[in-house]
Amino acid sequence: MSRATLPAWWPRPGVEVRLTLGLVAIFLAVIFLLDVLFGLIPDRARTELVARQTTSTALALLVTQGIEQGGRLPQAAIRQLAEQDREVLSVALQQQGRPRTTLIGNHAAHWTLPPGERSTLTQVRVAIRDAQSQPWGTLEIAFRPIYPTSLAEVLAAPVVRALLGIVVLSSVAIWLYLRRVLQHLDPGQVIPERVRDAFDVLDEGIVILDPQARVMMANEAFRRLAPLQQPRRAVTIGQPVTQLDWLCRALDGEEPEPAEAPWTSAVRTAAPSEEREVRIGPADDPAQVREVLVKCTPVLDPGGQVRGSMLRLRDVSALHQLNRALQTSQQALRERNEELGRLATRDPMTGCLNRRAFFEQASRLFELADQRGEGLVCVMADIDHFKQFNDRHGHATGDQVIKAVAAILAGGVRSTDLVCRYGGEEFCLLLPQREAADVLMLAERLRREIEDTAGSQVESVAGLRVTSSFGMALFEPGLAGLAALVDRADQALYDAKRTGRNRVSRWPVSEPETA
């Protein structure tokens, strides 16, 4: 969209000033045209040429009279005549065969014409003859330059002073006249005062534009939307809306190619423009940025012809703030619910599932395995000789042992597997879609990792040795339920304990030999 080329800080003249400058410029152009065609302004060069010829002739006559009267020059008369012409800088007499004689002024500084050269407007050489009409010498007269050589000389010129006086007086007269006339031609009078008062009551910013996108009316809500750096009264009647830089920047946004202005679209199509959301305010100060919905509607006369447009700006910043606050509250509520759910389903010491949550989730996995015939393996793990840790080193050390073992178990399985602190130092793992051989290898790996690393994770006691026993059972069709599967894994764990601990045992277990 078109936009004013002047910078934001540049003062923008009013309509009266712009019209006055235009009319004065036309007036001066007419004067110069008349001068070119008819010579309205006297030619300074021609006038000065005649005056200097007269002065030069008069000085030459005085010198000639002096020569005829015995060589006595009337210097007083020559000086008086030269002083009457302020354009004379210096006068000198050059007699043949003799040095130059200066009569007036610093002739050596002002005389620059080489010998033999013809006279110019500023360097005049007049031939002097004696009573016998024989060449006697020359009279040299240096004049001031005809045209000014500095600003002060230009301003001192009578013609320039006259033109400046005419320009100033005519500008004041035209400005006063236009100011008076424009008061009666104010486009704001197109909209009655009561209508403007009604628009000022609205919370939405309203701007009425003519077909050329000039402001016919702007209500107070629109003026309040201007950034704080912009004066509210900067919106003037008759001003092109494209001069409102803050509005044009908001409509352009960060798009590489600015879209068609809504008022242009409304006038061109005679239909409302699409409502769009823009951000008004300085990008470096988010607190002053406001979200605004912008829409432009054409203004039609009874015949359906477009007579202008109405730009509507609805500030939805408060609504967005409420939405953001609501989203923040919802997010905090979700996080709180997740935390409550974690506290309700997790063991606070180890972070593993508690028994209630474990059986809820494990029951669904058991039903899926039963329906689909998929593999499902239950593993029970127990820390060997755990009571000795509490008795010898205290319950704090026992807690560290439990945490170390739980971390190894939880870190060694998939995210879809379940790890539960079954009770005290006992853990239960349920692994869906796994085969017995894979789980056997997994249990053996976990057993070795506990034996190799769990003790070193207990900082309170150096060199502590921690081991665990594992029992595993595979789901089989027709199994009575999840409790039966866990019971089989528990029997396998008991077998691992009975046969020496720190090992993995699988159900079914062999019966112990009797003595």
Range with the lowest mean pLDDT among 28-42, 271-285, 333-347? 28-42
Q: What is the pTM of this model?
A: 0.44
In the prediction, which pLDDT does 2 show? 45
Q: 189 falls in which pLDDT band (50, 70, 90)?
A: low
Contact 213, 197 (CB under 8 A): no
CA–CA dist 511, 474 (Å, integer): 19
- What domains can be seen in the chain, in order of their start residue? 15-41+150-184 (no CATH), 44-143 (3.30.450), 188-320 (3.30.450.20), 346-506 (3.30.70.270)
pLDDT for residue 39 = 67
Strand 468-474 relative to strand 376-383, pairing: antiparallel
Question: How many Å apart are CA 245 and CA 4, to the nearest integer?
Answer: 8
- What mean pLDDT comes out for the span 222-228? 79
Enter the tokens of residue 317.
């910043």
**Predicted confidence band of residue 232 (pLDDT cuts 50, 70, 90):** very low
Q: Look at 16-20, 211-215, 410-414 and tell me which has the smallest mean pLDDT.
A: 16-20
Count of residues making up the chain: 515
Tokens of 85: 């012409």
- pLDDT tens digits for range 426-458: 999 999 999 889 999 999 999 999 999 999 999
Q: Would you say 438 and 355 are in contact if contact means Cβ atoms under 8 Å apart?
A: no
Q: Which of 46, 55, 49 is nearest to 139 (CA)?
A: 55
Strands (E), 256-351: 276-280, 290-300, 306-315
In angstroms, the CA 16 to CA 492 distance is: 103
Q: Are the beta carbons of 453 and 401 closer than 8 angstroms?
A: no
pLDDT of residue 492: 96
512 preceded by a cis bond (ω within 30 of 0): no
Taking a C-beta distance cutoff of 8 angstroms, is the pair 35, 41 a contact?
yes
Q: What is the pLDDT of residue 12?
A: 63
pLDDT of 3 > 70? The answer is no
- Dmax (CA) for the chain in angstroms is 178
Helix, strand, coil in percent for the chain, rounding step 5:
50, 20, 30
Q: How far apart are CA 19 and CA 207, in angstroms?
A: 25
